[in-house]
Amino acid sequence: MTKAIRPKVIVVGGGAAGLLAAIVAGRHGANVTVLEKNQRVGKKILTTGNGRCNLTNIDMHISHFHGSNPKFAFAALNRFNNMQTIEFFEQLGISHKVEDKGKVFPFSNQASSVLDVLRYELEELGVDTVVEAEVKDIKKIKNGFEVLVKGGRRYFGHRIILATGGKAAPNLGSTGSGYQLAEKLGHRIVEPFPSLVQLKLAEPFLKQIKGIKFDGGAEIIVNNKVMARARGEILFTEYGISGPPIFDLSRTAARWLQKNQRVWLKVSIINHLSRDELAEYIKKRFQANPTKTLAFSFVGFINKQLAPVLLKQAGIQDVHKKVAEVTATEREKIVEILQDWRFEVTGTNTWTAAQVTAGGIDVRDINPRTMESKIVPGLFFAGEIMDIDGDCGGYNLQWAWSSGYVAGESAATVGLHPGESGL
């Protein structure tokens, strides 16, 4: 890049990845404009971590990331890692704390504080932030790109960073519009589907047990093979099942459903005891109170609203008979369903409920070290728009920060030739 030329970088999308990219490009001397179709930037940041913004995670292993080629994320995650992310935000004023399972949050417990410092830094760098600017088309021209915004406005940029997000949370502006922009420029799309989302089940008794929580395990099973497993707090809902373990399993379930496979969810309500230990415990519990009714005998062990439903699913219709009348075979069935309760997954909740998008721009067409398109020189990508997504726990935001950092740095420092000033 010649010293006389200050590259013009246009960032399409003012979410986490786009804002980080804009800051980094600005710090590297670029003339940066952010085009955001909402009335303000960073709306989705405000909702992350239940309004607290789960910035990153201490355990940043590549196994927490998914896509057609998860290893694509490796270069960016190394270039701007979790410790660098923490330091970056500390320098902006965000003190941090580490919570359960390595989750990193701002000490203020406010996602708004994260957005506040990002916006402050953009202003300090002189980044031009244009809101209510919905990009309708991007054209490659001789000296760079022409960006057409709804209403007729046009912008010129030497480099473009597409950071429009995916399709999750369309109420916050993620409508998948970036896919069409990328396709017009020759990029392939891996069919998007909702991830980190609740699962739908078809059982008729769900209304009876909605709102019941328990700490247990869950597995996704396809063709009698375990495809994924997770554990933690699980919640039954009127339409199916939710909770952090279910969110982490939802990507696997959705992917197999997308392939028209039957998907089963195995739920273990009691997974801290072995099969034999649980059988012995149930036997002793029944022997200690032989005159209690079967359903009532579980009060204090599992949720009392769950017991009648669970017992009937175990094949025991008379849940009010005395425990002394329960046969050894019936005890075995009770033990089995406490550790292996099967449900057929009928689908996922909608895009509105999803936390992240699986699928997106095919990463085969992107340079992992620069986030630059292999098809259109000068076009870069950042964040959720690409076919990379992470588990619950700060991994998706870390991908936004890391890919945004690399895209911003690359877009600002990639070579410009004399005469490419765009003037």
Last residue of a domain, one of 348, 372, 399: 348
Q: Is residue 3 part of a domain?
A: no
* Structure tokens belonging to residue 382: 């950042």
Residues 92 and 173 in one domain: yes
Predicted pLDDT at 173: 86
307-331 per-position pLDDT tens digit: 999 999 999 999 999 999 999 999 9
Q: Identify the band that residue 71 occupies on the pLDDT scale cut at 50, 70 and 90.
A: very high
Residues 138 and 248 in one domain: no
Q: Identify the band that residue 31 occupies on the pLDDT scale cut at 50, 70 and 90.
A: very high
Residues 132 and 281 in one domain: no
**By the 8 A CB rule, do 184 and 375 touch?**
no
> Among 122, 257, 125, 137, which residue's Cα sits nearest to residue 199?
257
**Number of domains into which the chain is organized:** 2
338-363 per-position pLDDT tens digit: 999 999 999 999 999 999 999 999 99
Q: Identify the band that residue 415 occupies on the pLDDT scale cut at 50, 70 and 90.
A: low
What's the Rg (C-alpha) of the chain? Answer: 26
Q: Is residue 421 part of a domain?
A: no
Residue 247 has pLDDT above 70, yes or no: yes
Q: Is residue 307 part of a domain?
A: yes
Strands (E), 286-370: 341-348, 356-361
Quote the pTM value: 0.91
Residue 154 has pLDDT above 60, yes or no: yes
- Mean of the per-residue pLDDT values for the chain? 94
Q: How many other C-beta atoms lie within 10 A of the C-beta of residue 317?
A: 7
Q: Identify the band that residue 423 occupies on the pLDDT scale cut at 50, 70 and 90.
A: very low
**By the 8 A CB rule, do 117 and 110 touch?**
no
Residues 129 and 252 in one domain: no
Q: Is residue 423 part of a domain?
A: no
CATH number of the domain that 30 lies in?
3.50.50.60
Looking at the DSSP assignment, which residues form a beta bridge with residue 218?
A: 230, 267
Question: How far apart, in whole angstroms, are the C-alpha atoms of residue 36 and residue 14?
Answer: 5
Tallying the residues shown for the chain, one arrives at 423
Please give the single-letter amino acid code of residue 216: G
Question: What DSSP element (H or E) covers 210?
Answer: none
Q: Is residue 204 part of a domain?
A: yes
Residues 223 and 109 in one domain: no
Distance of CA 85 to the CA centre of its chain: 18
Residues 179 and 212 in one domain: no
Predicted pLDDT at 5: 73
Residues 59 and 100 in one domain: yes
Residue 10 has pLDDT above 50, yes or no: yes
Residue 390 has pLDDT above 80, yes or no: yes
Residues 188 and 49 in one domain: yes
Domain that holds residue 273: 198-348
Q: Is residue 422 part of a domain?
A: no
